[in-house]
Amino acid sequence: MASASRANAAEIDRLAITLAKDPSSKAFIPLAEEYGKAGMWAEAAGVLEDGLKYYPGFITAMVALGRAYDQLGQPTKAKAILEEAIKMSPENLRAHRTLAKIYTAEGATTQALRSCDVILALNPLDQESLSLRASLGAASPNVSETSTAPAAKASIVQPQAAVEAPPHTPTVAEQPALAQEIEPAAFAVELALPDVVADATTTMASALEADPPQAQAPSPVDAVMAADLVIEPTPAPSPSRNQIAARRLEQMLQSIDARRRDRPAPEATAAASQS
């Protein structure tokens, strides 16, 4: 306690009181840390052992206790609890850091290098682990490969994901399905077209009955239309029945309209008969 600073001592007292009031409180973790800062490793180990009775398997407390045992010169106990900790948390850096020192001191080079590799895989620039590897005569791992491997993989995957998919061309297997989607619409149009033609034909017949054309010499327009019909190019091969009906109906309507325009007005006809 004499070596502790005033602030450290005050914090130790505060946490110790808290823990005394509630032995199951997790205040034993910061209290052990403060004991460690003060070099009071026996006290740190004591509160950690008591805390683990309430919280067995608490990784943070197990790693802290392993470090306290190591500081107390009890490597066997330290190694046992730290190895148990890394079984539960394989990438715990603090546990591997202490274990690497213990393994090196015991001459267990393989285990020491394994712990260093775990640390360097997560932190390739960890100088303590790099120095320890060098002291064990092991070549330093390729830091650039260790640190950039995930980024390289990501850079390969991202462009592939960014490539826009080409327009989909229906396969042979998909064409029947597309045909099934198109045929109903085409069939509906084909069914509706005769009704449209019939309605137009009825309207045209009614117009002819109401205003029958008078026999007269072919007008210039009729002659031109007849000439157009004669020189009309041959329609596309195999036209449908509805297309032929619609084309004929259009020609008939044009002819009736032309005759109506060329027929003299009733007033002009009456004046001509009086004269």
In whole angstroms, what is the distance from residue 210 CA to residue 184 CA?
A: 40
Looking at residues 144-173, what average pLDDT do you find?
42
**What is the pLDDT confidence band of residue 156, given thresholds at 50, 70 and 90?**
very low
**What is the pLDDT confidence band of residue 267, given thresholds at 50, 70 and 90?**
low
Looking at residues 78-103, what average pLDDT do you find?
96
**What is the pLDDT confidence band of residue 151, given thresholds at 50, 70 and 90?**
very low
Terminal CA-CA length for the chain: 145
Range name among 102-111, 154-163, 254-263 with the lowest pLDDT average? 154-163
Q: Does 122 score more than 60 pLDDT?
A: yes
Here the tokens at position 80 are 């046992």
Q: Does 108 score more than 50 pLDDT?
A: yes
Looking at residues 180-187, what average pLDDT do you find?
42
Looking at residues 186-210, what average pLDDT do you find?
45
From the CB of residue 192, how many other CB atoms can be counted at a distance below 10 Å? Answer: 11
Is residue 263 within 8 Å of residue 214, measured between CB atoms?
yes
Looking at residues 76-85, what average pLDDT do you find?
97
Q: Does 191 score more than 60 pLDDT?
A: no
**% of the chain at pLDDT higher than 70:** 55
Across 108-122, 200-214, 223-237, 257-271, the highest mean pLDDT is recorded for: 108-122
In whole angstroms, what is the distance from residue 224 CA to residue 99 CA?
A: 108
Cα 78 to Cα 42, 95, 103, distances in angstroms: 13, 10, 11
Looking at residues 125-145, what average pLDDT do you find?
77
**What is the pLDDT confidence band of residue 152, given thresholds at 50, 70 and 90?**
very low
CATH architecture label of 6-145: Alpha Horseshoe (1.25)
**% of the chain at pLDDT higher than 90:** 46
User: Is pTM, for the whole model, over 0.85?
Assistant: no
209-224: string of b/e by CB count within 10 Å (b at 16+)? eeeeeeeeeeeeeeee
Radius of gyration of the chain (CA): 50
**What is the pLDDT confidence band of residue 137, given thresholds at 50, 70 and 90?**
confident
Domain boundaries, the chain: 6-145, 175-266
Q: Does 213 score more than 60 pLDDT?
A: no
The 3-class secondary structure across 23-65, one letter per residue, is CCCCCHHHHHHHHHHCCCHHHHHHHHHHHHHHCCCCHHHHHHH
Q: Which of 104, 107, 86, 103 is nearest to 95 (CA)?
A: 86
> pLDDT value at position 270?
54
246-263 per-position pLDDT tens digit = 777 777 777 777 777 666
Angle (CA) 165 166 172, round 5°? 115
> pLDDT value at position 183?
42
